[in-house]
Amino acid sequence: MPVLLNTADAGFEAAFATLLGQKREEAEDVDQAVAAIIADVRARGDQAVIDLTARFDRLSLLPETLAFSKAEIATEIAKVGAEDRAALELAADRIRAYHARQKPEDQSWTDAAGAMLGWRWTPVSAAGLYVPGGLASYPSSVLMNAIPAKVAGVQRLVVACPTPGGVVNPLVLLAAEIAGVDLVYRIGGAQAIAALAYGTKTIQPVDKITGPGNAYVAAAKRRVFGRVGIDMIAGPSEILVIADGDNDPDWIALDLLSQAEHDESAQSILITPDAGFAEAVAKAVAKRLETLERRAIAGASWAQHGAVIITRDLNEAARLSNRVAPEHLELCTADPEGLADKITHAGAIFLGAYTPEAIGDYVSGPNHVLPTARSARFSSGLSVLDFMKRTTLAKMTPAALKAIGPAAERLAISESLQAHGLSVRARLDRLND
């Protein structure tokens, strides 16, 4: 059974703190194993990747077959039906249009001292996108990672997507083609992350790695950060729904289960001021669980990590939501925009009963790669900016240096950095000759 809480109860704060502190990441200590895998890839390159792929994915490869050939991709893509292709293309068009608006502009100006200041934005040169394979093979993840990178102007874009047992998802390859990916490697796990970060004879290193994965992938991304950039360390998926009593309980139940079916560590939370509605939703969840294909996974998630919280009003619901800082937040209320004004921490907000979180996973436009595990308190979802860098610009005229240089010299002296001060003083002395 999910946790049932009521803010009116005396023990609510302690129970809510326990809920917030619940660790849902995989308990297995994988860091030592990942460190060994990364060291092996760095030492043996292609052969290490090939050996590890045979061991973990039951797939025999050669250096020349680490990536799909154009002919293989064409053969697989031909298997995709017209309706599935149309859905992917619609999603891609909407994601591209949304992210195009995120592209930042260069700026420059001359300030009161006469100095020219500004910044310019440039894309990373190469990015590697990790896409889970096997049962969790998501073409939508290809679009969500690759399209912002292409909008940013990334020149070389590669995907690492494992194919356990040689099983290929044609939709993943089609999504890569639609998004403009240059190369798709059929490798995964920590070995793929290591290869993308450090390179091998066959695999060129990249500058940034993005995309979700299992505990091994997350640990590998954490370890290679600094050598390359990463998007985030993503944990299990989560959804929080704030709903009043004027909703269809079955709709809300399905929204909660849409995240619970991801994996047993996912979390679904309902917050409502209507106790009767909360009970109706819980019953609807139980009924729907009887028929879901992934009912074992969703049921375990709901029982182990789910929560139903009764509040005094919607304002209190918003305050609790901010403490959770959920990855996905649905506001199914009469005035979702008004309630959204009270939300300060959430990865993505879905406004109104006709905006299920699932629409955001695929076709609404905003990115579905979002901060988890309360990290929405300090971070944002994947965007075009993740594939760009800002370089600042400054140009001093002689007059500008005379105006502000003495202050720089003084600060350098106060920090006992003599050469700093002298580099400014030498120029000031020349101007004063």
Tell me which CATH homologous superfamily contains domain 31-100+123-230.
Nitrogenase molybdenum iron protein domain (3.40.50.1980)
* pLDDT tops 70 at residue 136: no
Average pLDDT over residues 81-98: 98
**Where are the domains positioned within the chain?**
3-25+235-364, 31-100+123-230, 396-432
Q: Does the annotation count 99 as an active-site position?
A: no
What does the pLDDT read at residue 134?
Answer: 67
Query: What tens digit of pLDDT does each residue of 154-207 get?
Result: 999 999 999 999 999 999 999 999 999 999 999 999 999 999 999 999 999 999
Is the per-residue pLDDT at 112 higher than 70? yes
Closest alpha carbon to 95 in 369, 386, 387: 369
What pLDDT sits at residue 185? 98
Mean pLDDT, rounded, of the chain: 96
Predicted local distance difference test score (pLDDT) of residue 137: 74
pLDDT for the residue 28: 62
Q: Are 263 and 236 in contact (CB under 8 A)?
A: yes
Residue 328 is a catalytic residue: yes
Q: What is the average per-residue pLDDT within 101-107?
A: 98
pLDDT of 73 strictly over 60: yes
3-25+235-364 and 31-100+123-230 share one CATH topology? yes
Catalytic residue among 261, 327, 330, 357: 327
Confidence of residue 135 (pLDDT cuts 50, 70, 90): low
pTM assigned to the model: 0.94
> What does the DSSP assignment read for 134-186?
GGG--HHHHHHHHHHHHHHT-SEEEEE---GGG---HHHHHHHHHHT-SEEE-
Average the pLDDT over 341-370 and give the result.
Answer: 97
pLDDT at residue 149, as a whole number: 98
* Structure-block tokens of residue 218: 């997350």
Render 255-320 in DSSP notation, one character per residue: HHHHHHTT-TT-EEEEEES-HHHHHHHHHHHHHHHTT-TTHHHHHHHHHHH-EEEE-SSHHHHHHH
Characterise 271 by phi-psi region: left (phi > 0), alpha (psi -120 to 50), beta (else): beta
Each residue of 318-351: pLDDT tens digit?
999 999 999 999 999 999 999 999 999 999 999 9
Q: Which of 99, 262, 305, 328 is catalytic?
A: 328
What local confidence, expressed as pLDDT, does residue 26 receive? 56
* 3-25+235-364 has CATH 3.40.50.1980 classification: yes
Structure tokens at 247: 């909703």
**Does residue 133 carry a pLDDT above 90?**
no
Q: Are 309 and 270 in contact (CB under 8 A)?
A: yes
Task: Please give the C-alpha separations between residue 65 and each of 73, 183, 186, 220, 351, in angstroms, as whole numbers.
Answer: 12, 12, 8, 23, 46
Query: What does the pLDDT look like over 203-255, one tens digit per residue?
Result: 999 999 999 888 899 999 999 999 999 999 888 999 999 999 999 999 999 99
Residue 368 has pLDDT above 70, yes or no: yes
Position 1 scores a pLDDT of 80
What pLDDT digit, counting tens, does each position of 10-67 carry?
A: 999 999 999 998 877 655 688 999 999 999 999 999 999 999 999 999 999 999 999 9
Q: Which of 251, 256, 356, 272 is nearest to 314 (CA)?
A: 272
